[in-house]
Amino acid sequence: MTPAARTAAAIDLLDEIEGQPRKPADAVANAFFRDRRYIGSTDRREISALVWSVLRARRRLDWWLAQGSAARDFISPRLLVAAHQMLDGRPLDSVARGFSGGRYAPAELDAEELRRLRPLDGHTLDHPGMPLAVRHEIPDWIVPNLTARFGPALESELAALAAPAPLDLRVNLLKATRDDARTALARDGITAEPTSLSPWGLRVSGRQAVTSAAAFRDGLVEIQDEGSQLLVGLVEATPEMRVVDYCAGAGGKTLALAMTMQNRGQIVACDVSAPRLEGAVKRLRRAGVHNVERHLLEPGDKWAKRRAGSFDRVLVDAPCTGTGTWRRNPDARLRLRPEDLAELTVKQSQILDTAARLVKPGGKLIYGTCSLLAEENDAQIDAFLTRTQGFTLMRTLSLTPHANGTDGFFGAVLQRQASSPDPDPADQP
């Protein structure tokens, strides 16, 4: 594809992302490229890189394009892409030549578009006049929450959260040592260094095609952020245990738990989403894991009631705002609304109450999120301990991109006292 054709495709993809504002951008992009199989892998990479750099700069681009316009003027994906190219160092004349109206190229910039772009000539993306939320690409409403959370470290944390994330792998010790996995990756030209905090992690340099490497296909490694691996470490699951992964999704943490249990004992992977649980099947097979059964939680499900008090460990990897993963999902930070946070905190406390009853006396409930917000983390645990008898907080884990170089994670380990009565919340999945 010519550079202009890639620009046109990036504009089309941004149009589709904007048209489906509640859908994650990577899901929209996957569907977009699936429908356009004629776009080869190099073009696909280039188009995605352009779209993702626009998404990462979205608030700053809006800020620039609002200068000299009524704040509510529509900002089209065409304008966003052209503005991005200019603030990346290209003069307006050069950008306008790419919008040539030729075959496969974007249509020519019209007079109104040129008027809005002209003031950007000679500028770069960042500007000292931008408010903090614009500069760091976060919604205005969340600034007080993050200020309360980070205090003087706010700016450093926000800067780390705006940078692209590295790619981390977890070595599957059921199949290989960390050294073996590194060697296998190197055979496919992939260089990876041991992570500093997780004993099972490898950090891959640059953007490398890990999923087509033999080490990935053969189940020697899984893609998993180092922070996620550390959350699994909190569970301290051992081979003889019975363990529930209550919000297992497609099994990212289930796989790591099975590894720490040396494929022995029993894991029940639960979730309310059948497609997500189904997604775990292929991964479990690839990793050679066979100590896992799946359980779909349905409304009115009596499973938690029947199995009350019978598990050594219950992991609640709760649905959350995902604020800790914003490095990977630049679109998610602009989609998040205050009402989403309010809904999630209610859901988290309901899940905690139901999952707590599965823990046997002396066993442990491990609560985790990939959120940076106190409402979903410490405050959630404080509220649980206030309303629930018989659990003691043993330790917490808090990870952030700036302080730890991982995604943002929170974890809390709660031990059920040996002689405590069963907690008794309402029946609900």
Ligand X SMILES: C[S@@+](CC[C@H](N)C(=O)[O-])C[C@H]1O[C@@H](n2cnc3c(N)ncnc32)[C@H](O)[C@@H]1O
| Touching ligand X, residues 40-99 (CB under 6 A) | none
370 is catalytic: yes
Beta bridge partners of 397: 411
Of 247, 270, 320, 370, the active-site residue reads: 370
259 is a site residue for ligand X (CB under 6 A): no
Q: Return the number of the residue (98 or 252) whose C-beta is nearest ligand X.
A: 252
Least spacing, CB of residue 271 vs ligand X, in Å: 5
Task: Count CB neighbours of 408 within 10 A.
Answer: 29
Least spacing, CB of residue 212 vs ligand X, in Å: 21
Output the CA angle 79-164-135, nearest 5 degrees: 55
The answer to whether 35 is annotated as binding is: no
The phi and psi torsions of 31 (rounded to 5 degrees) equal -65, -40
Q: Is 156 in contact with 399 (CB distance < 8 Å)?
A: no
Q: Binding residues for ligand X, how many (CB under 6 A)?
A: 18
Out of 249, 363, 405, 408, the only residue in the binding site for ligand X (CB under 6 A) is 249
Q: Which amino acid is at 309?
A: G
**DSSP states of 176-235 as a string?**
--HHHHHHHHHHTT--EEE-SS-TTEEEE-SS--GGGSHHHHTTSEEE--HHHHHHHHHH
Out of 266, 273, 310, 329, the only residue in the binding site for ligand X (CB under 6 A) is 273
296 is a site residue for ligand X (CB under 6 A): no
What gap in Å lies between CA 387 and CA 248, rounded to an integer?
Answer: 25
What gap in Å lies between CA 5 and CA 351, rounded to an integer?
Answer: 48
Q: Return the number of the residue (113 or 225) whose C-beta is nearest ligand X.
A: 225
Alpha carbon 323 to chain centroid, angstroms: 8
351 is a site residue for ligand X (CB under 6 A): yes
408 is a site residue for ligand X (CB under 6 A): no
Q: Return the number of the residue (252 or 425) whose C-beta is nearest ligand X.
A: 252
Q: Which two tokens stand for residue 257?
A: 């738990």
Least spacing, CB of residue 45 vs ligand X, in Å: 25
Out of 271, 331, 375, 376, the only residue in the binding site for ligand X (CB under 6 A) is 271
Output the CA angle 147-148-151, nearest 5 degrees: 60
332 is a site residue for ligand X (CB under 6 A): no
25 is a site residue for ligand X (CB under 6 A): no
Least spacing, CB of residue 146 vs ligand X, in Å: 20
The answer to whether 312 is annotated as binding is: no
What gap in Å lies between CA 351 and CA 380, rounded to an integer?
Answer: 11
Contact positions toward ligand X, by CB under 6 A? 246-250, 252-253, 270-273, 276, 297, 317, 319, 347, 351, 429
Active site residues: 370
